[in-house]
Amino acid sequence: MRFPVLAGAALLALNTAATAELLSPKVTITQVDWAAAAASLPERGDGDAAAAFARANAESEKRYPGIGKSSVPVLLPVDLGPFQPTKYFLPGPAGYTGTFILNHGDGGFKFQYKRKPVEIEITGAGFTYDLDGPDRHEAFPAPKELQDAFPGIRRILHEAHVRYVFERFGVPYVVSIQCYDRRPSSRYPSCREVDPVAVKFLQTLRTVGGAPQTIAEPKLDLTQPDKTSDFTYYGPGDLIPNSGWRKMPGTADYTVYAAMRFPIADAPAYVKSQSFMPWGDCYKSGKNGRTGRKNVPYSCKVNGIPLLFNEAAAVNFTYPWRDNFCELRDFLVGQCAGGYGHQGQDIRPATCVQKDVNADRCLPYHHTIAAARDGLIWRMPGNLGAYIVINTPNEFVRFRYLHLNPHYMDSEGLITGRQVSEGEIIGKVATWGDFEKGTSYHLHFNMQVFTKVGWAWVNPYMSLVLSYERMIGGKGTEIKPGDPAPVIPDKPPVILNPPLPGEAKAAEDKPVQAKPAEAKSRKKARRPVRKKRR
């Protein structure tokens, strides 16, 4: 059957670009006062700043390998106290970033949150990204005990982190802890609980390494293939109608933040919404109709677009792509119009594989996922996601992969400190939410860049477009506002157990009406009570 086409809406984003020209990120280069930094070293010694830092690096290298690669002075705890360094320490041409953990009860800190250690991150940057559009954060006065040691220090809440932002030696630094602005609980760290941890961490910081070097203007190669292809996509910010938070628009960001490899290992692949497409749950916005049976028609109340309860619907696994970065979610995203959004892009692989003709969902683990760049893994064991952190002369970014099977990642050693190479297979597309089959069959892909207020979510859409064009060797075509919506071709799923000749074939192409709800007065049949066996 031909599935109803999702009609292209007029682009609602406020900053609509006149053309589909790809843009390089805007950055501010750090001007480092290395003489002042050298004067802060515990043992200044004789010689210039380079010699002083060479001596400091030789001492610190034992604990922090590669510290001399940092293009800015490295501030870290000297007397660790309750803070334990992790294997996430990445110095390089763009600066450095690293984490420390604090366990419940260490240093006298006790929390209601006990599920995992508290992780403290510190970053110093050789350049920072200047983002357009909204940049929502809440600012609060820093404690008095920090103001003398860190003149101008700011305490802010931004994208579910408490952050202390300060400048020293001309370098922007940020100390950050993930938290939630709510009451303390055993499930989530509250910002009120972890704020004293950040204060204590800041008081332990000393200059321990780095190396004077030239910080050049970052440059990205945005060259697109000369050949054309059948790849089509809606522009950035052009969400499915009314699918944004409180029906707000997306952001038309044509910036390519990283020259990367496409994260699905093989083409074709499709950037698609998981909530407002067939089999989607409409994410707390309500449904028209009842779901639960294959091919039952329904729609999301926010827009009424016809949908089918069948994850293999052709529209889910065909072009065009559609941005879902600012789609309705409860996640904090400073770059979205309402301050809330999806944080990344959902990507489906080439096909949907189903168990049999009666199945309504896709089976996991039939397509592989690749590392987008050479980088460092940042991930605690058991997590369903993983970051790959990139520190080069041209990029200070990190990618996050979500919904991978955590048992596979643990068994393959994909945990903090593991180095991966671009194109290396790091998993398979899965359905892992908080548990197996907890979400649809897709990869959720995020991107963060380092700004003056720390790491911030940015839309990876055009970075994905360029990386995909390079993978398939052909330039795509952007569907502009007012262009006719493309016809969605038929694309049947792969059936692992097809019906044998002569058997009755399930009517996949014919929508099935949902059965009316049974009367509430009808009592459920009771199961016989079985005696326990000893």
Same domain, yes or no: 260 and 161: no
54 and 187 assigned to the same domain: yes
Q: What range defines the domain where residue 365 resides?
A: 228-479
164 and 241: one domain?
no
CB 119 within 8 A of CB 416: no
Query: Is 9 within the bounds of a domain?
Result: no
Q: Regarding predicted confidence, which is higher, 2 or 287?
A: 287
SS3 sequence of 90-151 = EEECCEEEEEEEECCCHHHCCCCCCCCCEEEEEEEECEEECCCCCCCCEEECCCHHHHCCCC
- Where residue 134 falls among pLDDT bands split at 50, 70, 90? low
Does residue 177 carry a pLDDT above 70?
yes
Of residues 503 and 461, more confidence is placed in 461
- Domain check: are 368 and 466 in the same one? yes
Q: Identify which of 470, 449, 21 has the alpha carbon closest to the alpha carbon of residue 258.
A: 449
What is the pairing mode between strands 118-125 and 171-178? Answer: antiparallel
Is residue 527, in this structure, part of any structural domain at all? no
346, 417: one domain: yes
Do 272 and 200 lie in a common domain? no
Cα angle for residues 336, 340, 344 (degrees, 5° grid):
70
Query: End of a domain among 159, 174, 209?
Result: 209
pLDDT at 504: 52
pLDDT bin (cut points 50, 70, 90) of residue 470 is very high
Q: In sequence order, what are the residues at sequence separation of 6 or more whose Cβ sits closer than 8 angstroms to the Cβ of residue 241?
A: 7, 9, 303, 305
Residues 317 and 199 in one domain: no
Read off the pLDDT of residues 249-285 as tens digits, 9 standing for 90 and up: 999 999 999 999 999 999 999 999 999 999 999 999 9
Residue 41 has pLDDT above 50, yes or no: yes
Whether residue 486 is contained in a domain is answered as no
Residue type, 40: S
Find the CATH number of the domain harbouring 316: 2.70.70.10
- Say if residue 325 is in the same domain as residue 462: yes
Is 169 found in the same domain as 37? yes
The number of domains in the chain is: 2
Q: Is the pTM of this model over 0.75?
A: yes
**What separation, in Å, do the N-terminal and C-terminal C-alpha atoms of the chain show?**
56
In a domain, 288, yes or no: yes
